[in-house]
Every structure is written in structure tokens, then in C-alpha cells.
Amino acid sequence: NAGVTQTPKFQVLKTGQSMTLQCAQDMNHEYMSWYRQDPGMGLRLIHYSVGAGITDQGEVPNGYNVSRSTTEDFPLRLLSAAPSQTSVYFCASSYLQGRQETQYFGPGTRLLVL
């Protein structure tokens, strides 16, 4: 199993450009999430999905779109990049046992918006 994979590893964008951060998992997990990590801010939840076709907003959803057409993939779209979106982005997939959720993270995508 590859686990959770994220592409690209690193990306530089100009303000106003759009791009999609890819996330895929091969563990057949129902739950997937996107977080951003900024210095001194920890991990903040952007969007999450509890299954194919279902998405919801997290703590900091503005400026980002997501979709979940398959169980395996959960892409994160930046429609018009802003310098404030410079961050490290982590995708996670997880499964539930009752109320206990076990979460697996990808290696991250480092994004720089100029």
C-alpha cells in the first residue's frame, strides 16, 4: 500500500493563478481531510469529506474548493491564489471504529504564492 500520496511536493504560484493539489489514498478509507500548517498556527482544517459525494467546510475554507467523486481521491483547488495561502498542505485519510477515528497523513505539499 502506498498509503496517502500528495502531488506536487512543492509548487510556486503567482498571485491570481489557479492550481489543484492532488491527494489519493489506497486504503479504502471513507474519511478524507485537508489541513494547512502555518508557523505558530498548528494544523488547521480546510475541508473534509465523510464519503464520496459528501464534503463539508472546516475551520478555514475560504479560497479553497474540494470535491470527492471517488473514495480514493480528494483534490483541493485554489481558484485564485493569494500570498496568504502560502503554507504547507497536508491531506489525511481515516477510518472510524465507533467514534474512534484513526487518521493517516500524506507527506505534504509546500506552496509558495508570490
Partner 1 sequence: DQQVKQNSPSLSVQEGRISILNCDYTNSMFDYFLWYKKYPAEGPTFLISISSIKDKNEDGRFTVFLNKSAKHLSLHIVPSQPGDSAVYFCAARDDKIIFGKGTRLHILP
Binding site for partner 1 (CB under 8 A): 4, 33, 35, 40-45, 48, 56, 58-59, 90, 92, 94, 99-108
Q: Which of 109, 97, 105 is nearest to 4 (CA)?
A: 105
Closest to partner 1 by CB, 17 or 104: 104
Shortest Å distance, C-beta 108 to partner 1 = 6
How many Cα atoms occupy the beta-carbon half-sphere of 28 within 13 Å?
0
Shortest Å distance, C-beta 10 to partner 1 = 11
Residues in Cβ contact with 76 at an 8 Å cutoff, skipping those fewer than 6 apart: 20, 21, 23, 34, 46, 47, 64, 65, 66, 89, 91
Shortest Å distance, C-beta 30 to partner 1 = 13
Closest to partner 1 by CB, 58 or 75: 58
